[in-house]
Amino acid sequence: AEAPCRDAVTREVCRGVGRLLRALSFAVINELPLPNGRRADVVGLSPSGDIWIVEVKSCLEDLRVDAKWPEYREFSDALFFAVAPDFPQAVLPGDTGLILADRYGAEIVRQAPETRLAAARRKAMTLRFARAAAFTLQGLVDPSLENS
Amino acid sequence: AEAPCRDAVTREVCRGVGRLLRALSFAVINELPLPNGRRADVVGLSPSGDIWIVEVKSCLEDLRVDAKWPEYREFSDALFFAVAPDFPQAVLPGDTGLILADRYGAEIVRQAPETRLAAARRKAMTLRFARAAAFTLQGLVDPSLENS
């Protein structure tokens, strides 16, 4: 019963975060699969190649079931949580960035500590981002491709 | 009078080339702006990060007005021309790859000589590809963004 609501919140927060990152000159994609089998909710790529990961939490339960969120740190220069304004922020970890978002926009409430990626990891993540974005785009532009 | 026809041929050849590259495990985008102010018609990014550029020529005139095509070589590991099957192939330069394509698919008729990118250039091109793909995708998913 909770899932549809949770999905809607996640979608709206993702949209607001996307707009914020874009305004900061980041290119953004959603749902990027990582080498460890997890999926990053929002990934931003700056003009100079910095990689930010933003994990969206729609509700307390969503946070509680995700014990492995620190793993995202290994794949980003900066890790944020993003939540809707009515989320109880006190329960969120303090050593990540924090973004408040709704469907229209978002705001960075706390900057993320910088955890610089090593060159090889950055290269692999950039390639992963590039290919995921292009595959999704090509699927939209030429849908029959999916079945060919 | 020629332009609409030329555009249609270009679009079809681009689509066929996109399908071919995808079948070869490349991620593909169209119309990538390069640092030199030119635009690459089709750019493919392989699983290991190799970059192919495919220049589409719709007709003889299209080739004749493009004296600067060798510049694409500086931004790719392999440079191809792609044309429709009825294009007079004898007029094309012999030191690039050659792809024949229609809207349904394409075939590599001649492999391109390899011109390996230096690491810094490859990094810059991968970042450029990634951001262009994500920007285009985000514009499709959240169209209001373009005006915000």
| pLDDT tens string B21-59 | 999 999 999 999 999 899 999 999 999 999 999 999 999
d(CA A53, nearest CA chain B) in Å: 15
| pLDDT tens string B84-134 | 999 999 999 999 999 999 999 999 999 999 999 999 999 999 999 999 999
Query: What pLDDT was estimated at residue A2?
Result: 46
Residue A112 DSSP class: P
Q: What angle do CA A31, A148, A38 make, to 5 degrees?
A: 20
Please answer yes or no on whether B129 and A130 come within 8 Å at the CB atom.
yes
ipTM topping 0.95: no
| pLDDT tens string A53-95 | 999 999 998 888 888 888 999 999 999 999 999 999 999 999 9
Which residue among B49, B131, B133 places its CB closest to the CB of A137?
A: B133
Query: What pLDDT was estimated at residue A4?
Result: 52
Query: What pLDDT was estimated at residue A5?
Result: 65
Residue B114 DSSP class: P
Please answer yes or no on whether A131 and B28 come within 8 Å at the CB atom.
no
pTM (2 d.p.): 0.92
Which residues contact residue B139 at a Cβ distance below 8 angstroms, ignoring those fewer than 6 apart? B145, B146
What residues of A are in contact with residue B45 (Cβ under 8 Å)?
A: 127, 130-131, 134
Confidence of residue A144 (pLDDT cuts 50, 70, 90): confident
| pLDDT tens string A120-136 | 999 999 999 999 999 99
B32 interfacial to chain A (CB closer than 8 Å): no
Continuous segment of H or E residues that includes residue A31:
strand A27-33
Residue B148 has pLDDT above 60, yes or no: no
